[in-house]
């Protein structure tokens, strides 16, 4: 049988029987051999006919860094279960090395090797295998009140998006929350909610969030204290769990306006399960602290965005309110709930119900970067663009490699399609802000905008050179085979592009973190 081998995958985790091993991370090294039939991949040259070994490697790291186990036998079995979650894998052999094991005599290494096939794997492993192959939808609440909180939350979103096999799919507006129930003089909080799609288990996701908290200076003490960053899983595929380490759904989410308000703005039809099940809109209406939250920014994911403080007393002059309700026809009631006029809950409901009007246009944006971290940069940019007011991501192309000539470095490229209520000049300016906030290596260009033709030095739409660049045309064609640039089919322009031989698709499932 054909084989794929991964050797020397290293990560740190808190695994072992002794007490200090529960608290102090140590290095674990994993070797994995995947047995599968590679004949189809050899003929097709298509990633879908094999296994994305980058995704396997990330899965191994996630398990090592995840939930504690006493025995490396258990750790190896978890990794086996994850690998067998890839349908193409028939059998796998996994060796877990513990080079710093607490042994009192000289030694070189301690390792455990486990080999399993689909036919012999036990039921619990099969269940874990299925779990790691499945994409879960989760809601994560974010908050903090120490330091530059907006910058911290912004970086936390990017860190969450960088977790293995995880993709941020939505970011709520930013909210100001009174330090309700805390000592007088306590700094007010900033809060937001993000939605993610992930192949991690709930426990692995929690472990990742706790690492992000720690990296931003979070020290876990009492519940009712100030903190630099707080990340909580609110909902995970609607699952219910009474595990004291991770209760699902979050046991207090139903009564927290600073969770429900941002969640409602992000997902107007959201439902919370569990003992206090109900629509998020209704639960928000019933909270006692609904008047202690205010939306302050919906473009906060872009560095340098304004962070105005909006209070209930400012109603009638707030730009946020005007944007949310300037078109009365675009605002609809949510589940026929009448929120008290002028409250934060009513503003959240109105903002959540606002729908893009006729001015919404389709726009195509190209992404390219010479950085070795281009994939992560692209994902950060997609999250930030989707979070801009009036924007909605509608499509994302496969990830492409572009071979350069004349001593220029190779680069990565992709294309995304959005619907936007921005005009062309505003969108170009926003793209410049997004790219500058991420990396100097990242280029974001407005390639085309529905119904718009501009020929000004700082606003050229369609992008003139796009017709000749396969780095734009190839991913665009893969995303939308019927696309046209002006009157010309993108397929035709790609066939005529002088650099068509210099581009090649790397992967079409990179957006949830599985890359080469």
Band of residue 344 on the pLDDT scale cut at 50, 70, 90: very low
Structure tokens given for 11: 């990560």
What's the CA gap between 66 and 33, in Å, rounded? 22
> Reduced to 3 DSSP states, what percent helix, strand and coil does the chain have, rounded to the nearest 5?
35, 25, 40
List pLDDT tens digits, range 423-460. Answer: 899 999 999 999 998 999 999 999 999 989 988 888 89
| Region label for 92, one of left (φ > 0), alpha (ψ between -120 and 50) or beta (otherwise) | beta
Distance CA 137, CA 53 (A): 23
Listed range (24-33, 61-70, 119-128, 326-335) with the worst mean pLDDT: 326-335
Instruction: Indicate whether 321 pLDDT > 70.
Output: no
What 3 state SS string does 147-188 have?
A: CCHHHHHHHHHHHHHCCCCEEEEEECCEEEECCCCCCCCCCC
Alpha carbons 256 and 453: distance in angstroms, whole number: 47
Cα(260)–Cα(278) distance, integer angstroms: 11
Domain 2-133 fold is GTP Cyclohydrolase I, domain 2 (3.30.1130)
What's the pLDDT score for residue 336?
Answer: 40
pLDDT digits (tens, 9 = 90+) for 246-301: 888 888 888 788 999 999 999 999 898 888 888 999 898 888 878 778 888 887 87
| Domain ranges (residues) in the chain | 2-133, 136-309, 361-512
Q: Is the pTM of this model over 0.85?
A: no
pLDDT recorded at residue 389: 78
pLDDT over 50 at 307, yes or no? no
**Helices 344-353 and 257-266 meet at what angle, rounded to 10?**
20
Task: Please check the confidence at residue 205 and state whether its pLDDT lies above 70.
Answer: yes
Q: What is the pLDDT of residues 145-192, one digit of tens each?
A: 888 888 889 888 888 887 877 888 888 999 998 876 667 778 888 999
Reference 325, options 351, 346, 296; nearest CA is 351
The more confident residue out of 483 and 338 is 483
Cis omega (within 30 of 0) for bond into 18 = no
Length of the chain: 516
Collapsing DSSP states into helix, strand and coil, what is residue 10?
A: strand
Residue of 97 and 512 predicted with greater confidence: 97
pLDDT bracket for residue 42 (50, 70, 90): very high
Vertex 297 angle, CA 296 and 302, to 5°:
150
> How is residue 75 written in tokens?
């750790």
Strand ranges (E), 16-163: 26-36, 91-97, 111-117, 136-144
Domain 361-512 fold: Alpha-Beta Plaits (3.30.70)
Residues with catalytic roles: 98
pLDDT at 221: 52
Identify the CATH number of the domain defined by range 136-309: 3.30.70.560
Q: Do domains 136-309 and 361-512 have the same CATH topology?
A: yes
């Amino acid at each position: 049988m054909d084989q794929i081998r991964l050797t020397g995958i290293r990560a740190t985790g808190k695994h072992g029987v002794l007490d200090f091993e529960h608290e102090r991370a140590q290095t674990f090294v994993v070797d994995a051999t995947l047995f599968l039939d590679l004949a189809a991949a050899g003929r097709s040259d298509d990633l879908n006919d094999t296994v994305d070994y980058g995704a396997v490697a990330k899965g191994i790291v996630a398990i090592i860094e995840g939930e504690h186990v006493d025995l490396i036998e258990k750790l190896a079995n978890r990794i086996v279960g994850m690998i067998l979650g890839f349908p193409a894998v028939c059998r796998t052999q996994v060796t877990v090395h513990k080079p710093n094991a607490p042994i009192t005599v000289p030694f070189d290494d301690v390792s455990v090797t486990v080999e399993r096939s689909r036919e012999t794997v036990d039921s619990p492993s099969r269940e874990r295998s299925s779990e790691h192959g499945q994409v879960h939808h989760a809601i994560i609440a974010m908050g903090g009140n120490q330091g530059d909180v907006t910058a911290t939350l912004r970086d936390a979103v990017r860190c969450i998006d960088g977790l293995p096999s995880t993709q941020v799919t939505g970011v709520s507006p930013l909210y100001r929350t009174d330090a309700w129930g805390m000592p007088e003089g306590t700094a007010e909080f900033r809060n937001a909610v993000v939605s993610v799609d992930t192949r991690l288990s709930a426990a692995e996701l929690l472990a990742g969030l706790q690492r992000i908290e720690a990296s931003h200076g979070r020290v876990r003490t009492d519940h009712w204290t100030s903190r630099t960053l707080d990340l909580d899983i609110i909902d995970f595929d609607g699952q219910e769990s009474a595990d004291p380490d991770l209760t699902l759904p979050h046991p207090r989410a139903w009564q927290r306006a600073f969770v429900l308000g941002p969640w409602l703005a992000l997902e107007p039809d959201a439902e919370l399960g569990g003992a206090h099940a109900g629509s998020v809109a209704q639960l928000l209406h019933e909270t006692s602290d609904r008047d202690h939250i205010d939306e302050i920014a919906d473009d906060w994911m872009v560095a340098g965005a304004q962070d105005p403080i909006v209070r209930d007393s400012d109603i009638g002059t707030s730009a946020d309110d005007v944007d949310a309700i300037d078109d009365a026809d675009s605002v609809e009631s949510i589940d026929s709930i009448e929120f008290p006029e002028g409250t934060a809950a009513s503003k959240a409901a109105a903002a959540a119900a606002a729908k893009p009007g006729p001015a919404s246009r389709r726009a195509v944006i190209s992404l390219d970067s010479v950085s070795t971290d281009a994939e992560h940069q692209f994902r950060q940019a997609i999250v930030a663009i989707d979070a801009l007011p009036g924007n909605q991501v509608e499509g994302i192309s496969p990830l492409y490699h572009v071979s350069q000539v004349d001593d220029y470095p190779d680069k990565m490229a992709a294309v995304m399609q959005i619907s936007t209520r921005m005009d062309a000049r505003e969108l170009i300016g926003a793209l410049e802000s997004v790219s500058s906030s991420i990396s100097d290596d990242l280029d974001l260009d407005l390639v085309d905008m529905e119904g718009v033709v501009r020929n000004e030095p700082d606003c050229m739409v369609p992008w003139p050179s796009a017709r000749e660049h396969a780095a734009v045309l190839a991913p665009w064609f893969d995303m939308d085979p019927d696309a046209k640039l002006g009157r010309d089919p993108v397929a035709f322009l790609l066939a005529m592009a002088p650099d068509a031989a210099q581009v090649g698709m790397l992967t079409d499932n990179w957006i949830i973190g599985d890359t080469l």
